[in-house]
Structure 1
C-alpha cells in the first residue's frame, strides 16, 4: 500500500504509520521527487532532526522520509542498536512504501545501519549519504570519553547539546546550536517519546571501542561498490572523528568527503541549508 505524500513542512508533517514485517513503523514524509530516507542518530527520534535541514532537502526536489526505529519512539517491535539488525527498517520501509531508486542517509549510528543496508540490498539504493558516521574496521582516532559521559545522561541540557553536536570553542558554532535547538523545539504536538535511557546506556556501557564498527563485509563493500557515497562531518566530532575516513583515502573508490571547520557531530544542524545544497549537488552529479 502506497502512502499519501505529505506536502507539509517538517514542523507540521503528520506522523504516519505502516505495518510491515510484524511491527508498525512510524514515519513522516515531506516534499516530492526522488526519495531520500533518513536513519537517525543514537537516542534519536522523528523529532530530533533539524526542520531547516529537512525542509532544505524538500526544497531541493527530494521526497524526505524520516522514521522511528523499530521499538523506539512511536514505532513498535523489538529495539536494537545493532546496525546489522537496524538495516531491516529502511529495507522494509522501501518495500512497504513502494519506493524506487532511493537515497539512504544515515546520521551517526544510522550511518552504520545504512552502510549495512548497502551491503545487503544494493539494488534498492542509488546513493549513500553519511553524516557524522564512522567507517568499519580499526580506527586511527577513537572516540572521546566525553561523548559517553554526556550521551548516557538522563536528560541533555543545552551545553550538552553543544558539546555533543557542535564545537563549544567556536562562537559561531554555539550560535548555530542555539538556532538549531530552537527550530527543533518549535514542533507542537504529535511527537515521539524519548528513547528509554536504560536501553541507550546499555549500548555505550563499555566506553570508547576500537573498532567501533567491526564489520568486514561492509568494508569489502566500501572497497568494491559502484554506488556514490558522500560523508559530511565536522572537524571535531567527539564520537566519530573524520580522521578515520581520511585514513582510507585511496582505498574507497566512490567515497567523497566534506568536512566543516569548527563543527562537531551534527554538521547538518550547524549548516542545514549548506548541507542540503551539497547533498543535492552530489546526487545530481555523482
Structure 2
C-alpha cells in the first residue's frame, strides 16, 4: 500500500479519537506534521521512500484538527500528548520520532519529556529551543496566515523561489500530494491557525530552555534536515549550537527551503535510513 492509498484509522484514547495512517513494515517512524498540516500535507514520495527503506511509517492528525477529535492546541507541550499516546496505544517500541516545522518542536518536547520508547529523532525544517541568532522572515507570517495558500504561497513557504530547480520540485511535490482524492483530512481552520501565529518575526518561537538543556544531555541520536534558505526556521540557528549538542547531526540542502524532504524526498528518506542504521544511543559504562 502506498501513502496515496493508505486507509484512515482511528484509536480512542484519553477522551478523544486520534486519526492516523500506517504503511510499511519494520522499525516505526512516527511523523508530527507542520503548522496548518494534516494527514494529507506529507509528500507521498517521501513516505513511500521511507517504506522502501524499511520503516513502518505512521502519520496522524493532532487532537481537534483534521480527522481527530478533542481540543486543538498549538502549544508543543500540549501537542506532545498525541504522539506519546499514539505510541503507547499502538504498542510501539524503538520508535524514530520525526517532526516537520511545528511538529519538530513537538518531537523535541517528546525527546525531552518522554524518551522511553524512542531510538532516534529526525527533525525536518524546524528550530532549536532557546534564543536564536537569526530570526524568521516577515514574509513567512504574511503568507502563512492567508485564508488559503495557493501554489505560489507554497513555493514561498516550503521551497526556494529564486531557484528554478526548487520551483520544479515544488510542482512535482504538489501534484503528488493532490493525487489522493478520497478520504482526505479536513484543512486546519484558517482562523485557528492565524490566532496561533505571531506577527513579530523577532519574537522567540520556541523559548523552551528546559528542552535545550535536555538536548544537551540526551544520548538519543538526532538528525536535522534543512534547506539553506528556511524562511521561518533558519538553519543558522542549529549551526550556532555546534559543539553544544552532543548527538545532533545536521544535513543542509542547497537552494532549498522549509520543506527539504519534499524537494528531495528519496534522498531525505535514504539519509534518514542511513542515520538510523548507523547510530545508536551512547550508553555510559
Question: What CA RMSD, in Å, does the superposition of the two structures yield over aligned residues?
Answer: 0.7
Residue 199 (structure 2) pairs with residue 206 (structure 1): yes
CA contact (8 A) 1:132 1:232 kept: yes
2:14 to 18, 21, 31: 21
Q: Deviations 1:225-281 (Å, cap 9, x if unpaired)?
A: 000000000000000000000000010000000000000000000000000000000
The whole-number CA distance in structure 1 between the counterparts of 2:79 and 2:266 is 28
Q: Tell me the residue number matched to 2:210.
A: 217
Residue 123 (structure 2) pairs with residue 126 (structure 1): no
Partner SS, residue 69 of structure 2: coil
Q: Tell me the residue number matched to 1:5.
A: none
Structure 1 residue 206: Cα displacement = 3.1
CA contact (8 A) 1:139 1:210 kept: no
Structure 1 residue 62: Cα displacement = 0.3
Unpaired runs of at least 5, structure 1: 1-7
Residue 161 (structure 2) pairs with residue 173 (structure 1): no
Structure 1 residue 85: Cα displacement = 0.4
Q: Tell me the residue number matched to 1:258.
A: 251
Residue 56 (structure 2) pairs with residue 63 (structure 1): yes
Unpaired runs of at least 5, structure 2: 280-285
Structure 1 residue 207: Cα displacement = 2.9
The whole-number CA distance in structure 1 between the counterparts of 2:119 and 2:218 is 11
Structure 1 residue 205: Cα displacement = 3.8
Partner SS, residue 163 of structure 1: helix
TM-score under structure 2 length normalisation: 0.97
1:150 to 140, 143, 163: 143
Q: Tell me the residue number matched to 1:10.
A: 3
Residue 162 (structure 2) pairs with residue 141 (structure 1): no
The whole-number CA distance in structure 2 between the counterparts of 1:27 and 1:123 is 22
The whole-number CA distance in structure 2 between the counterparts of 1:274 and 1:35 is 19
The whole-number CA distance in structure 2 between the counterparts of 1:44 and 1:250 is 33
